[in-house]
Structure 1
C-alpha cells in the first residue's frame, strides 16, 4: 500500500529522511494539481535549504491524494494499520537477501505478492498457535483394529485414550437432524432462539437484466416457527440467517486437504479445550460434540469472508513440504515481511481454498486448521413487510409469512472471476433452485432458509411506534424495511398523510425495488431519485432539495427521520445533506448543525441503520 500512507500521515518520530542531508528533488508531474502549487521550484535568490521530509512533496490537498492513488485520504487511512509497516517495503541495510523461486500456479499469481528477494534470516516469527480443536474417530465395537485416520492429528496431539473414554466413544452417535437444510443443534445463535428451517413460500428477482446488483425477494413460511420463544416478529425487525458455506467450496477444501471422501460424512468426536466455537454465542468452555467434518466446514467456519491472518499462515508454513513455499509463508509471518503482509491483507479478501491452492505442498490437519479459522457468523436481514398482516392460503391452510429482500454481494475470485458473499450467495442459490423446480412443474418446492428470530428490538423496530410525521430515506436494498412501515401506517387513516419516502436508485427501469407494492397512496408518499437516468441525482441531493419538508418533520411533535442503507456513499451523503439543511433552515453554523442532529439522535427522532 504503501509509502503513500506513510507520507500522508507523516514519518515516525525516529525516522530520519534522506532529504535532511540531500537537496530535495523536483517532481512537477507528481506534485502538480489545480489546488496546489509547486513548492519545490529552485529559487535563485536563496540558497537551497535542508529540510525534513514533508507531505508537500507528494500531496497538498485531497484532490492530489485522489489523483495519485485513485482513493480518498480516508480510504487510505482506513487501510493503514498504523504500525509503520509501510516503511518496511524497501530492503533494509545490513541484511542478506536470497532469491526464492515463487510457486508457478494461477492461485499464487492471483495473490499479488510483491516478493523479489527474502532475507536469509527471519526474525519475530510468531510461535505456532495453540491447537484448541481435536477430532477423534469414533470406533465401533470390533476385534480388529481400525485403520489410522490420516486426515486428523489426534494421535500425536491427544496420545492414547483410556478404556473408559474408548467405551464412551463406541456409544456416541450423530443427532437425528437434516443438516442439509439447517445447522447442527449446537450451532445455537442466542438463547432461547434456535435455528428453524423456514420453507420458501415464494421467491422472485426484484431487479431486471442489466442491473448493477441483483436483488431477490423471499416469502418465508413461519407458520410452524416455535412460539414458545416468546418474541414476536415486528415491523422493522430483522431475522437472523445461519447461512452455510457453498457445498462445492467445502468439497474443494476437503479435496485440497486430501481428506478421503468416505470420512467426510462419517461421525467424529469433536473436542475443544476452550472458546465458544463451534457454537455462535455459547459459553467459553471445553466441549465434546459428535458431528462430521463436512458439517464443521459447512456451518461453523468462515472460509472466505476474512483476510488471512498470521496464525493461519503460520500453520500453513509449518506443514509446507516445499522449502520455498515454507520460506515465503514464514516471510509473511516475520517482522521483515510486515510490509508485504499488510499489502496482502488489505487487498481483496482471499479465500482458504485460494491459499491452499497457492501453496499446494501445505496439507495441515483439518482439526488444526479449524483452530485458526474464523467463526461463521449469522447474517441479519430486515423484514420488508408487516409480519402481523401477511398471510396466504395454500393447501387449504392459512400460512403466516415474513418477507425479506437480499442484494447479492460479489467480489473478485481467482477461479470463477467473481464469487458471492456467504449469506447473499446462499440466498441466490436457494432462489434459483426454487424457481428451477417451479419451471419443471413442482408447484410446492421444498427449499428452506435456516433462520431465527433476530433483532426484533433494533433501532428501526423500536422507534417506529409513534403517530407523528416520518421521513424515510434509503437506497438500494436499504429501502426494504420501509415497505413494511408504509404498509402498516397507510392502514391508519390518521397517518396516511404523515409518511414520506425518498428512495435512491440507479435506474427505475431495472433496479427499482417493490414498485407498486407499497399500498394505497404510493404515488403521494414515495419519491424515486435516479442517479443514472433523468435528472441524474442522488438521494442526498433530494434530501437537501426537500429541505422545507425535512425541517418541518424533524421539528414536529414525534417527528422522525429514518435513514437505511450503505454507510459509504449514501449514508455519509445523507448525513451531510441533513447537516446542510439544518444550516440553511436553522441558520446554524456547521458544528452547531452537527450537534443539532446528534441531539435528535439521542432523543430518538433521527434513526439510522447503516452498514
Structure 2
C-alpha cells in the first residue's frame, strides 16, 4: 500500500485499540439500472433551479480572448475573455456578476470511471430509483433520473466538492485494506476532528484524492452520486459597460489550488483557449476569435 506523506504519520500513530465515536450511517438508497441503450437522453424529475439566478441560462459563444500576462512559467496566467451575448437581453453594468457554469475535466472523469472499473458503463443510458422500503429517500434534484454516468460526472456533480464526514465513513465501508479503512473511519470520528480539519479541509482533499491515496476504496457509483454536491456556477465580475450590450468581458487568473490542479472553471476556460490556439508563442499573445465554442452563463 502506497500512502501519501501527508497521511503517513496518521497511519503509523493511530492505535488500533482506540474505540472511535462514529456518526450514524445510513445505507445507500440510490439504485442505478442500466438500460443497455446508447441513445443519449437526459431527463430530470424536475428541472433543478440555479441558486441566485437572475436570468435564464444562456449559451454564450466565446467571441475573443487575450492573455494579460507574459508567457512565462513563473508568471501566473491571466486572461480577458469576451462572450457574445447577442440576443440574451441581459441588462448589466461594470462590476455586476455573471455565473459561468463549468464542467469537470475529461481526465478527472476518466480517472474516476477507471478507478471504479465502470468504463464500459459510462455511455450507457441508466434509470435511477430509490429503495421503496426506506422513508424520506429522494434522488438529489441535480441528478437526472435518466442519463449516462459520463454526463452526470461531467456536468452535474462537483468532483472537487468538500468531503463531509458521513461521506468519508461511507467510503470506508467500501475499502478492503484494513489500514486504509481505519484511517477513513478516524477522519469520520469525533476523535479525528482535528485531523479531518488539518488533512482534509485545509488541504482541499477531494474524492479524486481519496481514491488515489486509498486505492482499495471502490465505492458503488450510486453512493458517490448521493453524496457529491452539485456543480454550481462560479461568479465573475463583468469588466465592460452595457454600451457594448452584445458582449460581456470577464478577467480571470488561472489558480493553482494545490494537488497539481487548477480551478474548475479557470482551468476549463484555459483549456478551451489552448485547444483552439495553434499559433506560435508570439501569436498566442494576440486576440483570437473562437466563436464556435459555447459557454453557459
Match of 1:488 in 2: none
Match of 1:214 in 2: 77
Q: Structure 2: how far apart are the matches of 1:311 and 1:437?
A: 48
1:118 aligns to 2:15 (yes or no): yes
Q: Structure 2: how far apart are the matches of 1:133 and 1:436?
A: 45
Q: Which runs of 5+ in 2 are unaligned?
A: 131-136
Aligned CA distance change for structure 1 residues 342 and 403 (closer, same or farther; 3 Å) = closer
Match of 2:257 among 411, 419, 423: 411
Q: Deviations over 1:79-121 (max 9, x none)?
A: xxxxxxxxxxxxxxxxxxxxxxxx324xx33546534132424
Matched position secondary structure for 1:134:
strand
Match of 1:278 among 135, 142, 148: 142
CA RMSD in angstroms comes to 3.0
Match of 1:378 in 2: 233
Matched position secondary structure for 2:244:
coil
Matched position secondary structure for 2:86:
coil
Deviation at 1:352, TM superposition (A): 1.5
Q: Structure 1: how far apart are the matches of 2:54 and 2:241?
A: 24
Question: RCO greater where, 1 or 2, for CA within 8 Å and sep 6 or more?
Answer: 2
- Contact 2:62 / 2:290 at 8 angstroms: preserved in 1? no
Match of 2:110 in 1: 251
Match of 2:125 in 1: 267
1:423 aligns to 2:265 (yes or no): yes
Superposed counterparts of 1:81-480, under 5 Å: 103-105=1-3, 108-111=4-7, 113-115=9-11, 116-131=13-28, 133-138=30-35, 174-175=41-42, 186=47, 188-189=49-50, 193-210=55-72, 212-225=75-88, 227=89, 232-259=91-118, 261-271=119-129, 273-274=137-138, 277-278=141-142, 289-306=145-162, 308-389=163-244, 400-413=246-259, 418-436=260-278, 444=290, 446-451=292-297
Match of 2:133 in 1: none
Q: Structure 1: how far apart are the matches of 2:59 and 2:218?
A: 35
Bigger share in helix = 1
Q: Which has the larger radius of gyration?
A: 1
TM-score by length of 1: 0.42
Q: Structure 2: how far apart are the matches of 1:437 and 1:198?
A: 24
Match of 1:477 in 2: none
Q: Structure 2: how far apart are the matches of 1:328 and 1:420?
A: 27
- Contact 1:118 / 1:331 at 8 angstroms: preserved in 2? no
Say which is worse superposed, 116-125 or 214-223, in terms of deviation: 116-125
- Contact 1:199 / 1:448 at 8 angstroms: preserved in 2? yes
Q: Structure 2: how far apart are the matches of 1:313 and 1:450?
A: 32
Q: Structure 1: how far apart are the matches of 2:35 and 2:212?
A: 30
Deviation at 1:195, TM superposition (A): 2.8
- Contact 2:102 / 2:233 at 8 angstroms: preserved in 1? yes
Q: Structure 1: how far apart are the matches of 2:55 and 2:211?
A: 36
TM-score by length of 2: 0.82
Aligned CA distance change for structure 1 residues 421 and 113 (closer, same or farther; 3 Å) = farther
Q: Deviations over 1:458-484 (max 9, x none)?
A: xxxxxxxxxxxxxxxxxxxxxxxxxxx
Match of 1:98 in 2: none
Matched position secondary structure for 2:127:
strand
Paired residues, number: 280
Q: Structure 2: how far apart are the matches of 1:444 and 1:347?
A: 38
Deviation at 1:246, TM superposition (A): 0.8
Matched position secondary structure for 2:251:
strand
Q: Which runs of 5+ in 1 are unaligned?
A: 1-102, 141-171, 177-184, 280-287, 391-399, 452-611
- Contact 2:174 / 2:219 at 8 angstroms: preserved in 1? yes
- Contact 1:305 / 1:422 at 8 angstroms: preserved in 2? no
